[in-house]
Structure 1
Amino acid sequence: MRSIDGIEWRVSDGLIPYPQALADMEERAAAVREGTAPERVWLLEHQPLFTAGTSADPAELFNPQGFPVFDAGRGGRYTYHGPGQRVGYLTLDLAARGRDIRCFVHALEGWVIDALAALGVSAHRSPGRIGIWTGEGAAEAKIGAIGVRVKRWVTLHGFSINIAPDLTHFGGIVPCGIATHGVTSLAALGLAADMAALDRALEAALPVFLSRLGRSAPLLAEA
């Protein structure tokens, strides 16, 4: 772990159990809110699993392989996480960064798009469809998902980017409720599936992401 612009930058090796990550996020969010811990960006991977957002429709969960399903508490519908997918959990204090949730989500999308561009992927937002997309027309597919929760102006959850996951696993759900388009990955696009390279691209694009939020990082409360 290290600090970038006052934000803890944490990259975890191995596969982190989802309940452990969720509990850790909640604990850190409470500490950030109280001013006793710094904001954090946490990059990790999970075992194969599905998470259900607050708008999840049980009809969109098939799960033939019997993967665990967790209530995430974030917005959105069903999402898959698994090996080969970079997950980023953000614990940021929006009370010190403009108190604008729409701005935060838009900036988060832009951060993922910028990082993918550094790896040679032309990605974009798609009006009316949540997530990060690549390709056009019939070839358009989702390469990244966005799902956040904001609790008393502190953010939880974040994004996922498909590096080289088993894309057949997405067949266990209707990803984010969108049945008309498929999912893709860096590997499926024929690009080098390098998690470390993506992490470096995310780190390089972090200052621009933060500047889009419009405020400097808060100071920790004095002990």
Structure 2
Amino acid sequence: MHSPASSALPQPFPSSCSPLLWERSDGVVSYPDALSHMEERVAAIRCQAAPELVWLTAHAPLYTAGTSARPEDLFNPHGYPTYRAGRGGQWTYHGPGQRVGYVMLDLTKPHGEVPARDVRAFVKGLENWIIRTLARLEVKTFLREGRVGVWCHDPRTGQEAKIAALGVRLSRWVSWHGIALNISPDLQDFSGIVPCGLRDYGVTSLERFHPGISMAETDAALQASWPEIFGYAPAPEPTGLQPSKD
């Protein structure tokens, strides 16, 4: 794997209405590059040398292990790369057709309805952000006690299924990692793990509700819903770290 060329590094874009920046990467970005980008930005936010950031991206097929991941919950029949993510939670799949949202905020400050230094409220805010986003796309979702993530009734099976996962990490009160929303991934790839340690429930995608829905439509809904929870107005159209050539 090669590091991204300097010309591919994220370029911040101005926002006259918010101290928060948004970036978006087209295509897929390698997971090690994503971790490096987050680590650098989190350090800069902590030193007040860079604005807070929401980064929308995607990855090639891979599995990440949270701090509670159990080895027996990984099957990986395709031999996809696996990584220790350092975030909370268990095993998660990332791949094309899934929108990953990495959220880097200084939680020593309040953000909309999320008070300062309240990790539980921050996680609840991320959940509500997903719920509001999918409501804009006319998909009813909900939370379930004891089950991490955002859930819905799969339109094909009628069963409860997970449509979005989340896992966060804090570094001196600056958040990183974030959410993973299934838009049109290959759902068979989730069979390589026990997603989030939940054996009795399946996964689903936005495409099952709206065939042909685009990543751009979903990104627009994510941006429009953000200020309803976190209080910042949406930033201009984001651009970010572009795919590296391995």
Is TM > 0.5 for Structure 1 vs Structure 2?
yes
Alignment correspondent of 1:147 = 167
Query: C-alpha separation between the residues in 2 aligned to 1:150 and 1:190?
Result: 35
2:128 equivalent to 1:115: no
2:230 equivalent to 1:210: yes
Alignment correspondent of 1:186 = 206
Question: Mapping of 1:70-81 within 5 angstroms?
Answer: 70-81=83-94
Q: Residue by residue, what CA displacement relative to the aligned partner does 1:58-90 show, whole Å, maximum 9, x if unpaired? A: 000000000000000000000000000000001
Query: C-alpha separation between the residues in 1 aligned to 2:61 and 2:195?
Result: 14
Query: C-alpha separation between the residues in 1 aligned to 2:82 and 2:147?
Result: 23
Structure 1 residue 190, shift from structure 2 partner: 4.3
SS in 2 for 1:16: coil
2:29 equivalent to 1:19: no
Q: Residue by residue, what CA displacement relative to the aligned partner does 1:100-140 show, whole Å, maximum 9, x if unpaired? A: 00000001100011001101110111111000000189610
Alignment correspondent of 1:133 = 151
The list of structure 1 runs, each at least 4 consecutive aligned residues, that deviate by more than 4 angstroms after superposition, is none
With 134-143 and 124-133 compared, the bigger mean Cα shift is at: 134-143
Is the CA contact 1:186–1:192 (under 8 Å) kept in the aligned structure 2?
A: no
The structure carrying a bigger helix percent of its residues is 1
SS in 1 for 2:50: coil
Query: C-alpha separation between the residues in 2 aligned to 1:148 and 1:209?
Result: 17
If the length of structure 2 is used for normalisation, what is the TM-score? 0.83
Is the CA contact 1:85–1:165 (under 8 Å) kept in the aligned structure 2?
A: yes
Is the CA contact 1:94–1:155 (under 8 Å) kept in the aligned structure 2?
A: yes
Alignment correspondent of 1:9 = 22
Counterpart code for 2:177: H
Question: Mapping of 1:96-111 within 5 angstroms?
Answer: 96-97=109-110, 98-111=116-129
Structure 1 residue 209, shift from structure 2 partner: 1.7
Counterpart code for 1:100: D
Structure 1 residue 34, shift from structure 2 partner: 0.3
Alignment correspondent of 2:5 = none
Identity %, equivalent residues: 52
Alignment correspondent of 2:191 = 171
Alignment correspondent of 1:62 = 75
Structure 1: gaps (5+ residues): 213-223
Structure 2: gaps (5+ residues): 1-11, 111-115, 233-246
The count of corresponding residues between Structure 1 and Structure 2 is 212
Structure 1 residue 92, shift from structure 2 partner: 0.2
Query: C-alpha separation between the residues in 1 aligned to 2:213 and 2:200?
Result: 26
Structure 1 residue 211, shift from structure 2 partner: 3.3
Query: C-alpha separation between the residues in 1 aligned to 2:33 and 2:225?
Result: 28
Query: C-alpha separation between the residues in 2 aligned to 1:167 and 1:40?
Result: 29
Alignment correspondent of 1:46 = 59
SS in 2 for 1:20: helix
